[in-house]
Amino acid sequence: MKRLSVLVISLAVSVGIILTLLSQPQLTATGKANVEWLASETSDTDNSFSRVYGPTQMVFPRDLGSHDGYQTEWWYYTGNVATASGRPFGFQLTIFRRALTPPTATITTEQSSNWRSNQVYFAHFTISDVEKQSFYPAERFSRGAAGLAGAQGSPYRIWLEDWSATELAPGQVQLVAKTEDVALNLMLQATLPPILQGDRGYSVKGPELGNASTYYSIVQQQTQGTITVGDEIFAVTGLTWKDHEYSTSSLSPGTIGWDWFSLQFDQGTSLMLYLLRREDGSITSDSRGTFISADGTVQPLDSQDWQLQVLDTWKSPTSQGEYPCQWHLSIPKLGLTLQGKPLIANQELNLSTVYWEGAVNFQGYQAETPVQAKGYVEMTGYAQRLDKIL
């Protein structure tokens, strides 16, 4: 469902990051570029960008790559890993694509350049060091030109400079990212084919025509490699979840944000929920979920199928946003009852935009059998409401 805010909320970036693009940003008096210009230059009634109106035939590996006819796209990796002695870590590596102009825009011969592009790429990378209760967020920007950033389906590769996800063999992907403080180098092995979310990949976000995305996930990816924190390198194993969505969409009026849950259970099942949230805390009828059996069988969930109770909250000392930090989840049709909380309270990203995304742990029962899950939760609209922006 998620992640529209990261692409369009105003932010300040040094002009040197993005240099010459097809459409130039306005400079402020401080010499910064305000990236409100990442917002669409077209109106909701302008059909220059493609929109998602229903299920489409998805073909892999082609649809692992970019879909430049749509304005917004992301490739999202989150995972929970641990050392042989049980020291846990969480990680997120996300690469976003945002089109500044529709693909029908014409570039003249005089304008043509290997450095010119109507695509902006940016990425978020985080490490959660649970034992030390330390969170390391980072962000990068680049143009989709001159080999600096891009995405392709075959062979599969997405990259922004030296942050990347690269296919090494069918179903095997290497994740690489590093900053001055932390790094990851992980090998992912798919155990299931792509899971089409919603109706055959058609994921509705609101009642407006075309307010939807094409959305698939690759879950329960066996993961091994290294996490680096400071001067220490840790050999780790665990599980990774991948989301890939593309759309030309926005939040419906009155929808201030969302909560998104991705949980991977120890018996091989998986659960995704997204809750589109109103100001009074209620969720819209377009909120959805998916339960994925260990063999890949998909059971769709709608907003009437679960009850989610917030048991506690955490207030950010930086943004002053107050986020849920403990939940009780019940899905009667699955016989599933869970209670969960973050592995670190403060996993708020205060980057070009402010949202919370971090590693969590859930445990409980399914049909009276004890179950345990690790995963990720994303929460937006708590520090700044999004319906005034998207």
Q: What is the DSSP string of 28-88?
A: -TTSEEEGGGGS-SS-TT--SS----S-----TTGGGS--TTSSEEEEEEEEEEE-TT--E
Mean pLDDT over residues 143-153, rounded? 90
- 173 close to 184: Cβ distance less than 8 angstroms: no
Q: 320 lies in a domain?
A: yes
Rounded CA separation 87/238 (Å): 11
As to burial, measured by CB atoms within 10 angstroms (0-12 exposed, 13-18 middle, 19+ buried), residue 355 is buried
Alpha helices in the chain (DSSP H): 5-8, 15-18
Report which of 99, 143, 94, 104 is spatially closest to residue 248, judged by C-alpha positions. Answer: 99
Mean pLDDT over residues 303-322, rounded? 97
Q: 387 lies in a domain?
A: no
The yes-or-no verdict on residue 374 having pLDDT over 80 is yes
Rounded CA separation 201/163 (Å): 27
Work out the pLDDT band at 145, boundaries 50, 70, 90: confident
Please give the full DSSP string across 119-166, using - where no structure is assigned.
Answer: EEEEEEEEEEETTTTEEEEEEEEEES-TTSEEEEETTEEEEETTEEEE
Report which of 321, 322, 326 is spatially closest to residue 311, judged by C-alpha positions. Answer: 326
The yes-or-no verdict on residue 45 having pLDDT over 80 is no
User: Rg of the Cα trace of the chain?
Assistant: 20
Mean pLDDT over residues 159-181, rounded? 97
Residue bearing the bigger pLDDT, 301 or 105: 301
pLDDT at 125: 98
Length reported for the chain: 390
- Strand, helix or coil for residue 207: coil
Mean pLDDT over residues 301-314, rounded? 97
The yes-or-no verdict on residue 17 having pLDDT over 50 is no
Q: 385 lies in a domain?
A: no
What percent of the chain has pLDDT above 70? 84
Rounded CA separation 143/161 (Å): 10
Work out the pLDDT band at 343, boundaries 50, 70, 90: very high
**CATH code of the domain containing 73:** 2.40.370.10
pLDDT at 35: 37
The yes-or-no verdict on residue 25 having pLDDT over 80 is no
Mean pLDDT over residues 131-145, rounded? 94
Mean pLDDT over residues 304-319, rounded? 97
- 254 close to 285: Cβ distance less than 8 angstroms: no
Kindly report which listed range (29-43, 255-269, 376-390) carries the lowest average pLDDT score: 29-43
How many domains does the chain contain in total? 1
What domain range is 258 assigned to? 5-379
To the nearest 10°, report the CA torsion of 329, 385, 354, 285: 30
Q: 389 lies in a domain?
A: no
Mean pLDDT over residues 296-305, rounded? 96
Work out the pLDDT band at 37, boundaries 50, 70, 90: very low
Q: 207 lies in a domain?
A: yes
User: What is the bridge-based pairing of β-strands 119-129 and 88-99?
Assistant: antiparallel
pLDDT at 43: 44
The yes-or-no verdict on residue 5 having pLDDT over 90 is no
Work out the pLDDT band at 384, boundaries 50, 70, 90: confident
- 122 close to 96: Cβ distance less than 8 angstroms: yes
User: What's the DSSP call for residue 346?
Assistant: -
Angle at 312 between CA 310 and CA 313, to 5 degrees: 100
Q: 117 lies in a domain?
A: yes
Mean pLDDT over residues 21-45, rounded? 36
Kindly report which listed range (10-24, 115-129, 296-310) carries the lowest average pLDDT score: 10-24
pLDDT at 41: 42
The yes-or-no verdict on residue 40 having pLDDT over 50 is no
Work out the pLDDT band at 26, boundaries 50, 70, 90: very low
The pLDDT tens digits of the residues spanning 53-86 come to 999 999 999 999 999 999 999 999 999 999 999 9
Mean pLDDT over residues 201-212, rounded? 91
Beta bridge partners of residue 313, listed in sequence order: 324
Please list, in sequence order, all residues whose beta carbon lies within 8 angstroms of the beta carbon of residue 352, skipping any fewer than 6 positions away: 6, 9, 11, 12, 13, 35, 122, 139
Kindly report which listed range (27-31, 216-220, 286-290, 354-358) carries the lowest average pLDDT score: 27-31
The yes-or-no verdict on residue 6 having pLDDT over 60 is no
pLDDT at 113: 59
Rounded CA separation 107/214 (Å): 28
The yes-or-no verdict on residue 312 having pLDDT over 70 is yes
pLDDT at 105: 56
Work out the pLDDT band at 251, boundaries 50, 70, 90: confident
Q: 265 lies in a domain?
A: yes
Q: 390 lies in a domain?
A: no
- Strand, helix or coil for residue 232: strand
| Total H helices, total E strands in the chain | 2, 25
pLDDT at 250: 77
